[in-house]
Structure 1
Amino acid sequence: MILLFFMLISGQVMAADPAVVESEEAIAAGKTVFNANCKQCHKLDQKYTGPALRGITERQTIEWAKSFIVNSQAVIASGDDYANDLYAEYNNIVMPSHTFLTDDDLNNLLSYIEYGDKVDPAAAAAAAGAVEGGGAGGGIPTEYLTVIVAVLVVVLLLILVVLGLIISVLTKYLHKQDLDEDDKEFVNQKLDLGKVLKSDVFVIVVTALVVALVAKTAIDGLYSVGVQQGYAPAQPIAFSHALHAGQYEIACQYCHTGVEIGKSANIPSANICMNCHTHIQNVGGKEGISTEIQKIYNAVDNNTPIEWVRVHNLPDLAYFNHSQHVKVGGIECQTCHGEIQEMEVVAQHSSLTMGWCIDCHRQTEIAASGNEYYDKLVQLHSDSKDALKVKDIGGLECAKCHY
């Protein structure tokens, strides 16, 4: 359900259906269907791009709900008052048909909508209050850290002043004592800065520091060759991941369709953008098509691809397979790409160096549970006290990544 799942309020009460049940299996299966088709536009207990969904089985019949999910436009065209009222309320935005969903999929989906991920209202209100009030656990504000550093600097200066006063007092005291000539000469000696600067020890120390600094700078420069960490190029369209993946929680796999089935995650084509932007033409309640969205329309009308600028780029000598890591390994996108759902402009988060990859292979445990492919490996590794990691299945072999 990419856009709307028009289910709000109605006086109708649904008869009980044994297929829509509160069971862990049905709820888990329904959540999978929801995340793949509905999550982009709907939440269970609050309005989002579309209306809140929970309680539909108390407002409409199950058959009505299933019919609407499968083909909402057919229900609207039939003259159904409830469907037409909602269609008008949400600016005539069309929800795509879902004829590929089986009856079991629909039953599981409705089970999840009614019984899944229930939130305690009191706890939710308390959490919201804590966020709004900047409650505990939010970390130390930057201003406080600045004050702490300033206080430490002042304390260090005071210590130096105190040490200077102590030396002055001790010097005056020793002057009043009956000292021999050698001791008097030592107490009365003055610091000769010129001799210090010309001394062999000072020259050696300064030279060693300069050489070490130059060497470190040169080595850091060599290690940074080909490393584009932090690279954030301007794109032809100002696409915001913070808006799409963050605020609207659109799954990465919806746009990057190859991430679970192939080597490359692939950049989405304009037709994927148009799945939503055929209807969503602006933001903030403005009229007309926004400048950035118009660029998508232009690309489609002119049958030309959008020339996105590649951000993450491995050298040709390195082999990396997205499906192997995401589908088989269960690695989250944020592990390599950072908090992508918070980025207005995408930047390369990780260094993507060989050392970075090898270190990950040394530390990452194999997600072997429920994967028959690893049964033999787990059995062979059973005598070891350590967890089975990528390095134990050839993750450090040169030929795994270089070919």
Structure 2
Amino acid sequence: MSIKRSFLGVPIYLGSLLLALFLFAGTYSHAAHPDVPDSEDAIKAGEAIFNANCKTCHKLDQRYTGPALRGVTERRTLDWAKNFIVNSQALIQSGDAQAVALFREYNNIVMPAHDFLSDMEVMNLLSYIEYGGKEDASAQAAAGADGAAGASGGIPSEYLSIIVGVLILVLVLILVVLALIVSVLTKYLNTSEKVSEEDKAFINQKGDIKKVLTSDGVIVIVTTIVMALVVKTAIDGLYGIGIQQGYAPTQPIAYSHELHAGKYEIPCQYCHTGVEIGKSANIPSANICMNCHMHIQNVDGKEGVSPEIAKLYDAYDNNRPIEWVRIHNLPDLAYFNHAQHVKVGGIECQTCHGPIEEMEVVYQHSALTMGWCIDCHRNTEVNAQGNQYYDKLVQLHADSKDALKVKDIGGLECAKCHY
């Protein structure tokens, strides 16, 4: 019997082959918390809650404005997930390490509180997050690059970390098992009379760690891991070009939307007068501010003129425009009309700008990418009730069983935004 190769190479080559297969398999399964209901009624009720409160910023299996949600009750405790949904800011301000890390990872974007949801509604929402929407996964994958661009990211970072960690653990276990097998075979061959002394000397040779580290198997493993990380980083970087989500510049006057639009409930259209009649929402002039601040000089009845209102008076008295810093910027090649969306479409300001009435400092809430807009056009139903603008379109769509959506009235045509 003649032995021509060392057993030492077996675990290395097999391990590298398995690692490569796992890296490109792309499958990941999870086990939801056992207390999360999986009934059809709970999933359906949770879907309605998700569409009404979460859909703008989240997807189940894809990184979006916020993280991918499916598997949250496996990655976190059930109580943590419920508390974060109900009031994420309270959890962050309590110093919870996981909540703080998540807040920082997503550019300090504030998620609105959902304290109006009952405990049962929160559980139904988690039911949909864990078990719902899976039938749409193949359709979303077929949607192509548009949907991927809207996600402003490739493979979710948390998924990549989990996959790499599991692969390393599996590889280590495989190496340990194969090392035990090699050890048992070595002992057996040493006691076998059919093995020549020359072969026994070959079997009992000591391993050379330098040769192991420079072997083809180790090189393949290290190269594969490095390439996967480099490709992931490059994809994330490419998708992030031109995206200013979370951008919150310092303004010349510390104007608080939380105070004006939130506490005092001043309508957005009072200041942004062009939003219903033109392409731009326009920045209000000092004259509009002075309609109120001619009489209001401070906040909460305090005496004297506050420093920020004094800046307004200075601009007004000197007939000098306030140099506000633009927050939401679209590329010149894209055409967007506020009147079409707000007046005709009946879209609320918060749909694109987020909970503006809760912002002390305004920031860009949505990604505002091409994919983000197209995804909205695919899923948004046309508000045609009592709107004569859509009468003929509704008649043409009458034979269809599906609801009339923006995509059905040309919302996916290139020339709508690029001409």
TM-score range relative to shorter protein: 0.5 to 0.7
The aligned residue for residue 375 of structure 1 is 391
Q: How does 1:47-196 map to 2 (within 5 A)?
A: 138=87, 141=91, 146=98, 181=190, 194-196=210-212
Distance 1:217 1:261 in 2: 43
Q: Secondary structure at the match of 2:223?
A: helix
Q: Against the structure 1 CA distance between its residues 193 and 338, is the aligned structure 2 distance closer, same or farther, given a 3 Å change threshold? A: farther
User: Which of 298, 302, 307 is 1:286 aligned to?
Assistant: 302
One-letter amino acid of the structure 2 residue matched with residue 252 of structure 1:
C
The aligned residue for residue 260 of structure 1 is 276
- Structure 1 residues 221-271: Cα deviation after superposition (integer angstroms, max 9, x where no partner): 333232222211111001111111112221111111111111110001111
Q: How does 1:173-322 map to 2 (within 5 A)?
A: 181=190, 194-322=210-338
Shift of 1:179: 6.4
Tell me the C-alpha RMSD between the 2 structures.
3.9
Distance 2:265 2:335 in 1: 30
- Structure 1 residues 328-383: Cα deviation after superposition (integer angstroms, max 9, x where no partner): 11111111111111111111111211111111111111111111222222222122
Question: Percent same amino acid among aligned pairs?
Answer: 71
Q: Against the structure 1 CA distance between its residues 238 and 191, is the aligned structure 2 distance closer, same or farther, given a 3 Å change threshold? A: farther
Larger RCO (CA under 8 A, 6+ residues apart): 2
One-letter amino acid of the structure 1 residue matched with residue 381 of structure 2:
E
Shift of 1:137: 5.1
Q: Against the structure 1 CA distance between its residues 360 and 192, is the aligned structure 2 distance closer, same or farther, given a 3 Å change threshold? A: farther
Distance 2:413 2:269 in 1: 29
The aligned residue for residue 390 of structure 1 is 406
Distance 1:277 1:220 in 2: 46
One-letter amino acid of the structure 2 residue matched with residue 217 of structure 1:
T
Which structure has the larger Rg over C-alpha atoms? 1
One-letter amino acid of the structure 2 residue matched with residue 311 of structure 1:
I
Q: Against the structure 1 CA distance between its residues 146 and 318, is the aligned structure 2 distance closer, same or farther, given a 3 Å change threshold? A: closer
The aligned residue for residue 344 of structure 1 is 360
Q: Against the structure 1 CA distance between its residues 209 and 314, is the aligned structure 2 distance closer, same or farther, given a 3 Å change threshold? A: same
- Structure 1 residues 197-241: Cα deviation after superposition (integer angstroms, max 9, x where no partner): 222122112212323333333333333232222211111001111
Q: Provide TM-score, normalisation by structure 1.
A: 0.54
Distance 1:292 1:328 in 2: 36
5+ residue gaps, structure 2: 1-82, 102-164, 193-200
- Structure 1 residues 309-345: Cα deviation after superposition (integer angstroms, max 9, x where no partner): 1111112221111011011111111111111111111
Q: Against the structure 1 CA distance between its residues 386 and 192, is the aligned structure 2 distance closer, same or farther, given a 3 Å change threshold? A: farther
Q: Against the structure 1 CA distance between its residues 189 and 233, is the aligned structure 2 distance closer, same or farther, given a 3 Å change threshold? A: farther
Shift of 1:288: 0.6
Distance 2:214 2:377 in 1: 53
Distance 2:226 2:385 in 1: 54
Distance 1:193 1:257 in 2: 74
The aligned residue for residue 80 of structure 2 is none
The aligned residue for residue 28 of structure 1 is none
- Say if 2:382 and 2:404, in contact at 8 Å, map to a contact too: yes
Distance 2:251 2:191 in 1: 77
The aligned residue for residue 371 of structure 2 is 355
Distance 2:309 2:91 in 1: 38
- Of residues 321-330 and 277-286 in structure 1, the stretch that sits farther from structure 2 once superposed is 277-286
One-letter amino acid of the structure 1 residue matched with residue 255 of structure 2:
F
One-letter amino acid of the structure 2 residue matched with residue 257 of structure 1:
T
Q: Secondary structure at the match of 1:258?
A: helix
Distance 2:268 2:206 in 1: 71
Distance 2:354 2:341 in 1: 15
Distance 2:345 2:377 in 1: 11
Distance 2:354 2:378 in 1: 20
Q: Secondary structure at the match of 2:273?
A: coil
Shift of 1:182: 6.8
Q: How does 1:25-44 map to 2 (within 5 A)?
A: none
One-letter amino acid of the structure 1 residue matched with residue 331 of structure 2:
P
